[in-house]
Amino acid sequence: MKHQFTAFPRNSEGRGASRRLRRTGRAPGIVYGGSASPQPIELDHNALIHALKNEGFHSSILSMKLDGSTHEVLLRDVQMHPFRHEVLHIDFQRVDANRRIHMKVPLHFSGGENSPAVKLAGAIVSHVLAELDISCLPKDLPEFIEVDLSELAVGQSVHVSDLKLPAGVKAVPRAGMDPVVATAIVPRVMTEAEEEAAAAEEAAAAAASAAAAEEAAKAAEKTPEKGGSSGKKEEKK
């Protein structure tokens, strides 16, 4: 399902013009790329905020209606106000159907609760990555990539190279690395002996701290006495 939205040509630019535009309930933006020149645009702010809540709006080909024409674009950047829920500026890139694109798409994890690691060993499944950098033609761009964890065993990890990517989609490597996507770890439980040893260490540390504090207090008490006797000698002189 392709996400659609409507944009309008923007005739004025600059910070002052953008502020005035935002006061009218519009958000300033730009669309660039392809053979056409960059074009300033504006969008209905409330409709844009609603669209941005949809995960697919960030990672799929979008259909933008602009000035009587329809354009395929990608969302490339959103600048939000530091503390208000307000879009300051938004960037879209035109899509060329014959050129590969680079995108970060979200990972959707499933099956972890039914994996041998969880069911048989009480392990905790940790999701190390939340999204994946991929390369593909626009027609092959997935909204997300499914990560099946149902076969994950204790001590095992799922790497990027283990993922089943859709046809035409390639993961973008990072200097030849194969990052971990998810892993299963069994929480370490302390034995009774280890608990007793830890308690003894804490008690010893507390006793040492108390002894040091007592020594410091005694030293502080002696200091004024030396000062007082010195003063008396001076008076005799």
Query: What tens digit of pLDDT does each residue of 24-57 get?
Result: 999 999 999 988 899 999 999 999 999 999 999 9
The length of the chain in residues reads: 237
Minimum mean pLDDT among 7-11, 13-17, 19-23, 76-80: which range?
13-17
Sort strands 145-148 and 101-110 into parallel, antiparallel or unpaired.
parallel
What DSSP designation does 140 have? G
Distance CA 237, CA 223 (A): 22
Minimum mean pLDDT among 36-50, 114-128, 216-230: which range?
216-230
The confidence score (pLDDT) of residue 223 equals 60
Q: Are 90 and 77 in contact (CB under 8 A)?
A: yes
Query: What tens digit of pLDDT does each residue of 197-218 get?
Result: 667 777 777 777 776 777 777 7
Distance CA 181, CA 145 (A): 12
